Amino acid sequence: MAMEDPPEEPRSMPAWVMTFADLMSLLMCFFVLLLSFAEIDATKFKQIAESLEKAFGVQREVPAMEIPMGTSPVFDHFSPGRPEPTLLDEVRQQTQQDDPRLRTHTAQVLAQVEQQTQQQVERTAAQVAQQLAAEIQAGKLQLQQEEDRIIIRIEERGSFGSGASQLSPEFTEILGRIGDTLAQVPGKIAIEGHTDNIPMRSARYASNWDLSAARAAAVANALLAKGAVQQERLRISGLAETRPVLDNATPEHRAQNRRVEIVVDLEQPIAAYQAKVLSLLEQGRAQEAFQLGWQ
């Protein structure tokens, strides 16, 4: 009698499941390996985290790194300070020496000083024009103000002969009155001689440089002879035809280019004046500052 085979036990799962499980394990290992090589963008992560904190209302302590320097309606009763916790769990302020009101006040004071300086220069130019009004109206002098300079322009007509550096007697008297006027005005005085572009050829002057310098020296000597202007304030220069006021295309333009200019430089007096006015305004003596003259 033949033996019978034992009955086959029923299988609990299909045969393909093992293969599928092996595949899934391999895929998981593959992605874990990819993740291990990945890099996290810390900046984006921080931005996302902060956005989430704001969205969900997460409170956190924010240190005060800078003190606000602006003004506000409560400024008279509150000065900016660094808040710090105390032992009593209270917030108190530290006094600051840097007061924004002082900055604003200084800006306003500087604006007043600049305005006062401009008015003082204009008053000085008007004073010179008033004292030399007759000569200006007669066309013998021209007066011009350029920022911190006052220029008295002497034309060749009536002052010097053609190609000469000797002053006429009439203009010597005019320079005496100019000297009296300049004695009341502070600052250095530059006397500049100018010519047209026609070359100078004479036994006395080799070029327009010689002629322009000689005319400037003649004006300086006339001012010093009066005794009103100190020698230390003067300097002379001959500029020939290098600085014309007009082009030299016509005889009329060339005549205006032949001139001597007395330039009063107010730069140093202005600096001293502004320092004095600023000091008075900061002391609250505004009325005295507005009445201040050249020192």
178 three-class SS: helix
Asked whether the beta carbons of 93 and 81 are under 8 A apart, the reply is yes
The residue type found at 100 is P
Asked whether the beta carbons of 277 and 265 are under 8 A apart, the reply is no
Q: From CA 81, how far away is CA 67, in angstroms rounded?
A: 6
70-92 pLDDT tens trace = 555 444 544 555 555 554 555 45
Burial code (b: 16+ CB inside 10 Å, e: under 16) for 122-136 equals eebbeebbebbeebb
Q: From CA 43, how far away is CA 285, in angstroms rounded?
A: 58
Asked whether the beta carbons of 167 and 175 are under 8 A apart, the reply is yes
Q: What percent of the chain has pLDDT over 90?
A: 35
User: 């008075």: which residue's tokens?
Assistant: 280
221-277 pLDDT tens trace = 999 998 889 999 999 999 999 999 999 999 999 999 999 999 999 999 988 888 888
- Stated pTM of the model: 0.62
Q: In this predicted structure, what is the pLDDT of residue 74?
A: 46
- CATH of span 146-282: 3.30.1330.60
Query: Across the strands, what pairs with 238?
Result: 193
**Phi and psi dihedrals of 206, rounded to 5?**
-75, -20
Mean pLDDT of 154-160: 85
Asked whether the beta carbons of 216 and 191 are under 8 A apart, the reply is yes
Domain locations in the chain as residue ranges = 146-282
187-204 pLDDT tens trace = 999 999 999 999 987 888
96-128 pLDDT tens trace = 555 454 444 567 777 777 888 888 889 899 999
**Phi and psi dihedrals of 238, rounded to 5?**
-110, 120
